[in-house]
């Protein structure tokens, strides 16, 4: 995720040092990061070895997959682009449910299961938003375009049916007894907005719901704290949502800035 910031800083300032650090990160992912099953990035925690052995988490689609596509696009590096696309396709294979088209939070390749098997809102937003943005960087003629586009289309079709009347989504998107959560809702709304007019009515509902979560000082409320793949549904429901979180600020900024661009025609 820091790599995304470095790319944006480089594009804004033309200072090579930001790109140089981002390249180091991309090279680490390509050459040194923990992988399993033919090059799928393992979800890792800095400084702790193999705390999640052979686990794929949906977060990686944004944090690594989309990052690799962005830097590969800037540098015209086919190796970065191909490895980034591999993450999209592998995470779709392991995490997208064939029945609901929603994305599970995680996959355990050793146990060959989805652990608690939960459809987590922020996880679905990582997948949806990053696929929508990836399609802006992948040529229509590339075989990966139709794979990603199909996955996203089916996922969004499921998600719009689960939107609450408030315009938000529940932290477990299939469980109306779980609390409404802002960061996941903003990421899903940003994906819908990126895909265009087909989803306008859902985006409008989201806009109303998300704006109600913004305090006068800009703090975004009702954002769930850092969330591992919890043991069961109750674990997700007990994740606190009292405090301001960086990913809440970021995903709401992503949605609102995109909304402003659409309104201005840029």
CA dihedral 72, 76, 77, 78 (to 10 degrees): 100
CA dist 161 → 97, 157, 173, 207 (Å): 16, 7, 10, 17
Q: Write the CB contacts of 217 (distance below 8 Å, at least 6 apart in sequence).
A: none
Find the catalytic residue in 14, 27, 59, 208.
59
User: Quick one: which of 110, 112, 59, 111 has its CA closest to 87?
Assistant: 59
Q: How far apart are CA 106 and CA 123, in angstroms?
A: 9
| 232 is known as an active-site residue | no
Tokens 């794929």 sit on residue: 56
CA 214, distance to chain mean position in Å, is 21
Q: What residues are labeled active site? A: 59
């Amino acid at each position: 995720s820091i790599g995304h910031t470095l790319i944006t800083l480089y594009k804004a300032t033309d200072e090579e040092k930001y790109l140089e650090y981002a390249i180091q990160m991309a090279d680490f992912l390509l050459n040194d990061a923990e992988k399993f099953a033919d090059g799928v990035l393992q979800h890792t925690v800095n400084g702790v070895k193999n705390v999640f052995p052979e686990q794929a988490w949906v977060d990686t689609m944004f944090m690594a997959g989309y990052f690799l596509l962005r830097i590969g696009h800037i540098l015209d590096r086919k190796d970065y682009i191909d490895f980034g696309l591999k993450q999209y396709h592998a995470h779709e294979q392991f995490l997208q449910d064939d029945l609901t088209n929603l994305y599970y939070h995680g996959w355990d390749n050793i146990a060959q299961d989805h652990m608690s098997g939960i459809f987590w809102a922020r996880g679905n937003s990582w997948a949806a938003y990053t696929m929508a943005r990836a399609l802006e960087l992948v040529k229509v003629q590339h075989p990966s375009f139709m794979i990603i586009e199909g996955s996203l289309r089916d996922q969004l079709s499921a998600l719009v049916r689960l939107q609450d009347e408030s315009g938000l989504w529940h932290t477990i998107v299939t469980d109306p007894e779980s609390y409404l959560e802002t960061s996941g809702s903003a990421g899903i709304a940003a994906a819908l907005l990126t895909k265009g007019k087909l989803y306008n009515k859902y985006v409008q509902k989201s806009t109303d719901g998300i704006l109600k979560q913004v305090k006068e000082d800009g703090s975004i409320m009702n954002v769930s704290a850092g969330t591992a793949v919890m043991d069961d549904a109750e674990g997700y429901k007990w994740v606190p949502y009292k405090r301001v979180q960086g990913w809440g600020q970021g995903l709401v900024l992503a949605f609102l800035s995109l909304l402003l661009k659409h309104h201005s025609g840029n």
